[in-house]
Structure 1
Amino acid sequence: MSVSLLAASYNIRKAVGGDMVRRPERILAVLAEFAPDIVVLQEADRRFGSRATALPIDLLADHGWTPVPFDSRPASIGWHGNAILAGPRIALRDRLKLEIPALEPRGAVLAEFEVSGAPVRVVGMHLDLSGLMRRRQAHAILDTIAGRQSMPTVLMGDMNEWRASAGCIADFAADHHIVLTGASFPATRPIASLDRIFLSDDIEAIDSGVHRSPLAARASDHLPVWVRLGLPLPPR
């Protein structure tokens, strides 16, 4: 037996759409179109000042989302712009901010959940523009996972890697399988698979893809990518 879960990754560009207008309600409307249970976000916080969330907390609550608390800055929901939102059926077990080597302000976040009795670890990331640094960041993330309790694991985020199977993609794929979603950038005419999902071998990918809609094409410069998971139930 397994538990079904819809997970997604979405670079929301601080809720600024192709019209250069910040409209957080538009991001939440895109998520409502395909209704994931868990979503990792990139560029979820504003870059300067207090790094306040681009998605107001009350608006998230109105749409049934609970941000995983990473206790970084009082007005922020993430860590270096990386955030994880959980829907109502998701119970949080643990969370962790990941310090990774970086030339730019970069980070990654990790949360461990229970979904209808099935455990799952979710890692969200936004990797560097530098190829060399991306590989160092990938190894830092994988080392952190290796040092924790074994658990079905989903790694998602904006890898900033244009190549299909080289660099950090090969590093993650060494111990995880790549979920084929499709091109997600730029949102208006996607040609690059910058947004990626990797799964540990104990998770089944039932279905996957890129969420395309007229609203999603306007809401950010990236489209969301998603995967329908079959999570194994632990033995009784």
Structure 2
Amino acid sequence: MDDAAFTCISWNVHRCLGNDGRVDPARTVRVLENEVWRPGVDALILQEADEDCPPHGGLMEPSEIARATGLRHAHGAPAHRWADGSHGFLGTVLYLHPAITVTSLALVDLPGRCHRGAVVAELVRGGRRFRIVGTHLSLTQALRLAQLRTISQHIFRKARMPTILVGDLNEWRSWGGMALSARLLGQKFSGPAKATFPIRRPFLPLDRILTCPPARVADTEVLDGPGIRMASDHRPLFGQIDF
């Protein structure tokens, strides 16, 4: 793939709780491998991939995801996870292509009654520096405003570079509202708003892949399949970003 393009998949796996009421991590991995995955994808960003309550234990074994995708788990160091038994930070877990180097990975606590967080990774691929912010935001608009403002303030203190904001943002309005405005975030994030929720007949664009200039979301695609419809309440979102 051209070094000027970057591809990723974002999926809220709903703590591996399928529509049959069973928590089945092995099934989720099978669906990821057989229906979600695409060869050559650079990053996988999962949400609700750890247990909901402390100590937020991991659900899907990173080694199994690595086998299924060829990507490597970005949270190997204990400082890059919520706790020893977690696979990521409050359910957000990042997997990356082996050709991508992680120069910095920060865990950002976000305000709210329910503990939410963001994983902010600064990366290098082919000499090009960029940033991924993976997160799962609140259902409440006022809290989304505070959470995205917290993320933007964290980024503001860092070096300027193309930034990709990925995850279940729980923003149902296609235009993004105040939460995704340049006035709140300090820079304009944009990208297609395609419906990913609920699983069987999506009409809400809760899951997003967004970028700020000079990066641009060239395309996104909502993925579907019989296993996907069983394994989660969200459809996965594939995106291509041009730098």
Residue in structure 2 matched with residue 21 of structure 1 by the alignment: 22
Give deviations 1:88-119, integer Å, cap 9, x for gaps.
Answer: 33221110001221121111111111122222
Structure 2 Cα separation of the partners of residues 164 and 170 of structure 1: 12
Give deviations 1:161-198, integer Å, cap 9, x for gaps.
Answer: 22222131335776233211510001111111011121
Residue in structure 2 matched with residue 74 of structure 1 by the alignment: 84
Contact 1:8/1:225 (8 A) holds in 2:
yes
Contact 1:39/1:86 (8 A) holds in 2:
yes
Residue in structure 1 matched with residue 45 of structure 2 by the alignment: 40
Contact 1:162/1:193 (8 A) holds in 2:
yes
Q: Which residue, 207, 230, 233 being the options, matches 1:218? A: 230
Give deviations 1:211-231, integer Å, cap 9, x for gaps.
Answer: 122221222100111211223
How many angstroms does 1:208 deviate by?
A: 1.4
Unpaired stretches in structure 2, ≥5 consecutive residues: none
Unpaired stretches in structure 1, ≥5 consecutive residues: 232-236
Residue in structure 1 matched with residue 197 of structure 2 by the alignment: 185
Structure 1 Cα separation of the partners of residues 46 and 147 of structure 2: 18
1:39-118 pair list within 5 angstroms: 39-63=44-68, 64-69=70-75, 70-118=80-128
Contact 1:3/1:116 (8 A) holds in 2:
no
Say whether 1:207 aligns with 2:219. yes
Structure 1 Cα separation of the partners of residues 211 and 126 of structure 2: 19
Moved >6 Å (runs of 4+):
none
The worse-fitting range, judged by mean Cα deviation, of 67-76 and 33-42 is 33-42
* Distance change (3 Å), C-alpha of 1:123 and 1:49: closer
Contact 1:181/1:226 (8 A) holds in 2:
no
Contact 1:180/1:209 (8 A) holds in 2:
no
Contact 2:103/2:122 (8 A) holds in 1:
yes
What SS is found at the alignment partner of 1:216?
A: helix
Amino acid at match of 1:104: C
The worse-fitting range, judged by mean Cα deviation, of 138-147 and 176-185 is 176-185
The worse-fitting range, judged by mean Cα deviation, of 33-42 and 190-199 is 33-42
Residue in structure 2 matched with residue 168 of structure 1 by the alignment: 179
After TM superposition, the score normalised by the length of structure 2 is 0.87
Structure 2 Cα separation of the partners of residues 173 and 136 of structure 1: 10
Structure 2 Cα separation of the partners of residues 220 and 73 of structure 1: 25
Structure 2 Cα separation of the partners of residues 115 and 186 of structure 1: 35
What SS is found at the alignment partner of 2:230?
A: helix
Q: Which residue, 195, 198, 210 being the options, matches 1:198? A: 210
What SS is found at the alignment partner of 1:141?
A: helix
Contact 2:199/2:234 (8 A) holds in 1:
yes
Structure 2 Cα separation of the partners of residues 112 and 9 of structure 1: 18
How many angstroms does 1:49 deviate by?
A: 4.9
* Distance change (3 Å), C-alpha of 1:112 and 1:27: farther
Contact 1:2/1:230 (8 A) holds in 2:
no
